[in-house]
A and B are shown apart, each in its own frame.
Chain A
Amino acid sequence: MSELMKIQENLRETARKLLANGEASLVIGYALGSEVSRVVPAFISREDEVDRLVWNPLCINNLAKYLLDYRHEPGKVAVVVKGCDSRAIIRLLQDNQITREKVIILGIPCPGLINPDLVAARLDPGAQITVAAVSKQDFSLQTGEGTFTFTRDEALLKKCRDCEQHTPVIADFMLGEEIPPNDPGDPFVAVKTLEELPVEERSAYWDKQFSRCLRCYACRNVCPACTCRECVFDQAEPCWVAKANNLPENTAFHLIRAFHVAGRCVDCGECERVCPVNIPLSLLNRKILKDMKDLFNVPTPGTSLEELPPLGAFTKSDPDEFM
């Protein structure tokens, strides 16, 4: 049995036990989606439904933020997290959005995910993945029609290329064997390339990106650092950003949002994934992440529960060159 399938078994068993003994009232995980290349967030509250839970290289969504929907309900909620998603749990805990006692963290060491578009291009959409495996070289997906192999080089999801933590940084149940962090190389290559451009070119680059923003707010809604009770972009009075969709307002929206999550963005990459017009939002957030690391010498936010966001804490050694 592949490690992925062992994890899936383990996940189902753990979920079954948690629901059976009443420890958890809900398990949030992944289930097969409407097509072979898609999975859906699944909300399992009955034992006889736990076999819907799956673990395969298409489980991209960060499920942590769904915890907010249940924070006022009685009972504990168990949630499946990968390494990157686990930083979002720390984000929500540090921001006092959720309480540790009410959450059961089901950690999955994740070896990296597959680009669903490639899966969609090769597999029959109606097929079902029955077995999945990942090796150092490739992904293999087995359906009723055979086994399909994708080399890691071609198929690894973009956000996984710079993966910092395969293994969740926080978990109550670790459902697989820990995967040691590999050396992802420099995650800021793209940021540095852009930084080196003359200011006019950088400005033109972002103008082109922001001008096609639809202001659908998917980036905000999916973001585990965006938890304001009333978002500034929804406020009518005062009106910080007008409803008009144009370059100045769109730019204001993205820059304000980037600064609101500065030092708190856990670099889960969900904003970029959900953007319907492919705005490279991770690049924007990573610019700030890079500056934070340069200024405060901090790890990526969400790496540890003890390490508070540098902009949310004061120390005497904080840089003060603006004073």
Chain B
Amino acid sequence: MSNCRHNPLKPYPATIVKIIDETPDVKTFQMVFDDPAVMESFRQKPGQVAQLSVFGVGEATISITSSPTRKGILEFSVKKVGMLTSALHCLEPGTKVGIRGPYGNHFPYEVMKGKDLLFIGGGIGLAPLRALIDFVLAEENRGDYGKIDIIYGARSMDDLCFKYDILDRWPQMPGTTVYTTIDRAEPGWEGHVGFVPAYLEEINPSPENKYAITCGPPIMIKFVLQALEKMGFSDDQVITTLELKMKCGIGKCGRCNIGSKYVCLDGPVFYLSQLKQLPPEF
């Protein structure tokens, strides 16, 4: 029997250094481990998740939204939906929290090399995609990937996450196009109006030499997948990331299984072809 050198269920203390209000119910938390050695050894890959602790309240699984190319800091974008995320939203910069991870698999960025990438996000669903977007757009990686298209939508202007990225930073990157849409017209918005799947069909990207990576509300994903299929994307060209209730994050607590697979170990990133092999329990 092997010895336990490191306790994976015990988080490392970390500090919230900055909080960015993204939308009325989404905040991005910048966090730094208190121990610089932990910060150095925490090597997440785009698409992985972590367990965030608010001590006294509990833990929640949150995807890491910052790219590993951004050193010395971790970002988590959190929508206020439950007890833990509500508690997080009440915190101030300087508060001590806990982080453990990184958990799960990651976007297949090695396989994606040499390809064009089409990102399709809705609402807070852009958070896990953002880690990969910034990874491939990072100077050291940009040459490995082709054209980057980002289609992103939210219910309203207010509900657009990462406004600086989508409206300002990413559109200025070479070989990058950002298509932003909101569900209903409103004063002050001059961009596209309509749902993400419809916008996708309007843009009608070619599946050639391309991977499509999507994340968003289940209803959006459903129609995005239909649209992609219509455009000729194969199930091996479409990648998504799942969110299920998790507690341990390490394949013990038995909660996030879809059939024999644990989302915390075998996911959260799945090719559509893999998803179609799984029972419909997600």
Contacts and interface: CB of A to CB of B under 8 A. Distances in A.
Contacts of B82: 236
A44 B82 CA distance: 41
Interface in B78-101: 82-83
Contacts of A237: 83
3 contacts: A236-B82, A236-B83, A237-B83
Nearest to B86: A237
A243 to B, nearest CB: 11
A237 B82 CA distance: 9
Interface of A: 236-237
A237 B56 CA distance: 13
A236 B84 CA distance: 10
Nearest to A236: B83
A185 B83 CA distance: 52
Interface string B130-143: 00000000000000
Contacts, number: 3
Interface residues of B, number: 2
A237 B81 CA distance: 13
Contacts of A236: 82-83
B147 to A, nearest CB: 45
Nearest to A239: B83
Nearest to A237: B83
Contacts of B83: 236-237
A56 to B, nearest CB: 39
Closest 3 CB pairs of A and B: A237-B83, A236-B83, A236-B82
A249 B258 CA distance: 33
B84 to A, nearest CB: 9
A293 B200 CA distance: 69
A236 B82 CA distance: 10
A7 to B, nearest CB: 43
Nearest to B84: A236
A230 to B, nearest CB: 14
A21 to B, nearest CB: 38
A236 B81 CA distance: 13
A312 B216 CA distance: 47
A237 B83 CA distance: 7
Nearest to B82: A236
A236 B247 CA distance: 14
Nearest to B87: A237
Interface in B18-34: none
A237 B86 CA distance: 11
B72 to A, nearest CB: 35
A262 B247 CA distance: 36
A236 B60 CA distance: 14
B60 to A, nearest CB: 12
A236 B83 CA distance: 8
A237 B57 CA distance: 10
Interface string B107-143: 0000000000000000000000000000000000000
A191 to B, nearest CB: 40
